[in-house]
Each structure stands twice: as C-alpha cells, then as structure tokens.
C-alpha cells in the first residue's frame, strides 16, 4: 500500500492489517512521520513531535506482532495527544508561556490507557492557551491552520489534533471538550468529534471535579475509530468522582441493532441561542435529517421554550478563567494570549450573586433537556452556525459573520449548539454533514440521553453509511 493511501486508512483497518502482518508498524509510523515532516511547517499542528519515541515504540510493536503476543485494539496506531494532557518525559505546555519547559513525570490516565491499547504517541498537538477559545493559536507557537483552507482556523481548542487527523498525520487524536472543543474542530475539518457523557471517560485535570463540564474525547475520520478510542479510554478513575460505576459506551438499544431507525423519535433543534444559521449549513443539516428519515426515524422540530443560557454560560466560563488563570496573566502580562487577558478582565466584573444565578440556570437547563428526552430518543442540530472562521479572527472582540450579516460574539453566535451539552453532561457527537458554498466542511450534532453514548454512536454510524464522508480529503494533501 502506498504511503499516502496508508495515511488515510482508518485506525480500525490499520490495526487489522498490522495484526495480520500485512503492514509493518515500523513502516506505518515512518510513513506518518514523513507526512508530519512535510506538512507541519504549513499547518503548525504540533507543539512537539516525538519521532524518536514513536520509532522505538513501533519497533517494539512489530516485535510483539512477530512473537504472537496479545495485541490491543489500537496496536501500532499513531495518535496525537492534545497538549493539555500530561505525557511522561514529553514536554506539556498547556499552550502557555507559564509551562513552556514543563516535562511531567507521569502520563495522564488517558495517555496510559491509549498506550495500553497499543497506540503510539507521535506528538503533542496544538491548543490555544489553556484551551480557552475556539480558534487554535497561542503566543508560544503561533497559529494552526485548517488544511481545507489555509486562511481559516481548524477550530479549537483541539484544533491541532483536528488539523493533523484531517491531513493524514495519524488517524486518531485525543482532544478535550469544555465548551465544544472536540466538536467545533470536527465540524471545521470534516471529522468525527465526540464528547461522551460526563464521567464516561475520566478527566483528571478538572479544577472543579464535582462541577466539571470538560470531557476528553476522540477526533477521528470514522465512527468506528471514535467508538474504539472512546471505549479504550473509559472506566472508573479514583481522581474523577463522575466515573464511579460509569461505562464508557453502555449498551446499544435493541431497536438500533437493525439497519433501520423505524420508530426512533428525534427532536431537531433549529436555532438554540443563535440568531441565525447559514443557509448552506442548514441545508446540509436538513439533508442529514432526510437520510435519517429515509431510515425510518421520525424527526420533528423542538418547539419547547428553553433558556439555552448563553449569558449565564459566559458568567460561569469567564469567572472560572478569571479565578484560575488570572494569576498567570498578572505574572506574564502581554506574553499571554490577548483573548485570555480579555477573558480574565471580563470575568473579574461578575459578583458572587451573578455566579450563583448562573449555577441555578445550569440546573434549569439540565432539567429542560432531560424533559426533552421524555419525548425524543435523540436530538439533532447543526454543530456550528457556519463554516470555519478566518484564521485571524479575534475571539474576544470580532463579530461572527453569517451570510453577510454581523451576528455578534463567538458564543453563542457560532458555538451556541455545542456548549449547552457540556453544561448538562449529555453525550454529543459531531459528524460531517457535507460541504458549504465556500468549499469547507459542515457538521451535524447528534445528542443522546446521559449514558446513551453507544446509541449516539450507532446512529452516527448509520448516517455515515447513508452519507459517507471518510474518503473526502482536503486539497492540501
């Protein structure tokens, strides 16, 4: 198999080829690293490339295959790790000058679990400083670009992982999602991005373990790859109270075991807190809904009056940034991201009463979404209101343009469909829905009941089968 073809083979397929000795882990890693060397100067999607480590791990992986040892489901598969996750002996910067030389003495539990499944770390993917925005750039490394259009962002905050996977620089990437940070770049780059139920996968670095809204998750080209990666990372962890008795995937509902969605009830969220949705994004969403209807699903628009808490979400988000990251801004000043500085200043303006009101709004939102699942089995919406923003977009001050009209700030006018499900903890999957008039990918989001992760992925797989996307490659490659 030619190296360029191999670069776009799904992880599940590559793992099967490795197990059957049809491809060598050493040759596979070499092919991927060659692509990294060629494309990294253009895309800038890695903070650190661990080529020496990866090649040594590939030799061990090949020896295990030849010796007939038990092999994990991701044996020999290259993976990028977002630079918010600790990696033993590998620099972990969190995208910040404050940690530019930080080398952890241990792996995050998810890195440990991916390694145990046989995955080989090829590098640390870029993230905005502490993952605080939906575009991927940081003062310490510059700007990451979208392989579909170098004038656009790949999204964020897992934009480095998305740009890498979309470009064939490894089939899987580990991201994290605190307000859409796997689903945003998935939609921008034509990928699968999954935020599971809170607690399905441990998140060890949450500053508020009990009020956590962040979920680690996969960025992949296929649903199967996302499901395998998600399953490998799931399970209880003593440092995360939400993981107790939680299953990564849970069972698939019997009704979804057939190649039909007959009787499945889906609620279509057309706007949420957004003022508008681009016409081409809406058209692609409706085409995806049409495919689900063709499979037998019943889809109707959600008409319930729901406070999607765009203002209160900002209170929670900005207060957290001001409290936790304010000291870093005070110490390093203009060496930090200008958006981070703006967010810290904005967060300082809220008082305790505003914060308590926002906590109450979060509870009401959770209960409102729970009520929706009394009527619907799943929810569906666009992932974003439009395609990827310009690479130079300023997330603190610029206004989102939709069909030639200025709509307002990124949240909620670009990301208003994604952040609510971080607040409620429901599983949410972004899958490609087609291409917009500007030639960039668009995404559709599927949301399920808490702990309905397997059902969400199963419906995503049926949509993938009806409207294939994995063979679409960006023009850069």
pLDDT per position as a tens digit, 237-265: 999 999 988 888 888 999 899 989 999 99
Write the pLDDT tens digit of every residue in 103-160.
999 999 999 999 999 999 999 999 999 999 999 999 999 999 999 999 999 999 999 9
pLDDT at 476: 79
Q: Is residue 321 part of a domain?
A: no
Q: Does the residue 351 lie in any domain?
A: no
Those residues of the chain that have pLDDT short of 50 are: none
For residues 264 and 458, is the Cβ–Cβ distance under 8 A? Answer: no
Domain-located, residue 314: no
Bond before 412 cis per omega within 30 degrees: yes
Q: Which domain holds residue 228?
A: 3-306+361-466
CATH of the domain at 242: 3.90.1300.10
Q: What is the pLDDT of residue 46?
A: 98
Residue tagged 């060629």 (tokens): 38
pLDDT at residue 2 in the model: 66
Q: Is residue 477 part of a domain?
A: no
Domain membership flag for residue 335: no
Instruction: Tell me how far CA of residue 248 lies from CA of 204, 221, 253, in angstroms.
Output: 16, 20, 15
pLDDT confidence of residue 246: 80
Structure tokens at 90: 């590998």
pTM: 0.98
Residue 111 lies in a domain: yes
Give me the active site residues, please. Answer: 82, 157, 181
Domain assignment present for residue 331? The answer is: no
Instruction: Check residue 310 and report its DSSP letter.
Output: H
* Number of domains forming the structure of the chain: 1
CA 288 to CA 322: how far, in whole Å?
40
Q: Is position 102 within any domain?
A: yes
pLDDT, averaged across the chain: 97
* CB atoms inside a 10 Å sphere around CB 319: 20
């Amino acid at each position: 198999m030619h190296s360029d073809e191999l670069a776009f083979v799904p992880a599940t397929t590559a793992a099967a080829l490795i197990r059957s000795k049809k491809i060598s882990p050493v040759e596979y890693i070499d092919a991927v690293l060659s692509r990294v060397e060629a494309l990294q100067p253009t895309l800038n999607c890695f903070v650190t490339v661990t080529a020496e480590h990866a090649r040594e791990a590939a030799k061990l992986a090949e020896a295990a295959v030849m010796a007939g040892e038990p092999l994990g489901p991701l044996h020999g598969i290259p993976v990028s790790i977002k630079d918010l996750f600790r990696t033993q002996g590998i620099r972990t910067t969190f995208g910040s000058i404050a940690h530019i030389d930080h080398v952890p003495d241990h792996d995050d539990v998810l890195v440990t679990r991916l390694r145990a499944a046989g995955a080989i770390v090829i590098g640390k993917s870029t993230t905005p400083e502490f993952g605080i925005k939906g575009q991927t750039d940081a003062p310490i490394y510059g700007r990451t670009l979208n392989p579909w259009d170098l004038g656009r962002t790949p999204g964020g905050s897992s934009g480095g992982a998305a740009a890498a996977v979309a470009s064939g620089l490894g089939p899987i990437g580990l991201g994290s999602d605190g307000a859409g940070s796997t689903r945003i770049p998935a939609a921008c780059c034509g990928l699968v991005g999954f935020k599971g139920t809170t607690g399905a996968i441990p998140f060890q670095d949450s500053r508020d373990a009990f009020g956590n809204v962040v979920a680690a998750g996969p960025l992949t080209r296929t649903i199967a790859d996302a499901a395998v990666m998600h399953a490998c990372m799931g399970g209880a962890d003593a440092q995360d109270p939400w993981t107790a008795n939680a299953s990564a995937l849970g069972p698939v509902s019997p009704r979804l075991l057939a190649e039909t969605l007959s009787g499945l009830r889906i609620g279509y969220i057309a706007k949420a807190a957004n003022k508008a949705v681009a016409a081409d994004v809406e058209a692609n969403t409706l085409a995806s809904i049409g495919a689900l209807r063709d499979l037998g699903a019943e889809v109707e628009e959600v008409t319930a009056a729901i406070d999607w808490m765009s203002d209160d979400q900002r209170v929670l988000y900005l207060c957290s940034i001001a409290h936790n990251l304010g000291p870093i801004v005070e110490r390093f000043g203009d060496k930090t991201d200008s958006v981070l500085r703006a967010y810290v200043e904005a967060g300082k303006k809220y008082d305790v009463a505003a914060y308590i009101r926002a906590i109450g709004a979060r509870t009401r939102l959770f209960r409102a979404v729970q009520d929706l699942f009394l009527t619907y089995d799943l929810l569906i919406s666009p992932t974003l209101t439009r395609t990827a923003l310009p690479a130079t977009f300023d997330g603190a001050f610029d206004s989102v343009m939709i069909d030639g009209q200025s709509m307002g700030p990124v949240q909620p006018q670009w990301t208003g469909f994604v952040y609510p499900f971080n607040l409620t903890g429901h599983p949410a999957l972004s899958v490609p829905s087609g291409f917009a008039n500007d030639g960039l990918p668009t995404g559709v989001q599927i949301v399920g009941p808490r702990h309905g992760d397997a059902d969400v992925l199963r419906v995503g797989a049926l949509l993938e089968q009806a409207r294939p996307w994995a063979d679409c490659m960006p023009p850069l490659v």
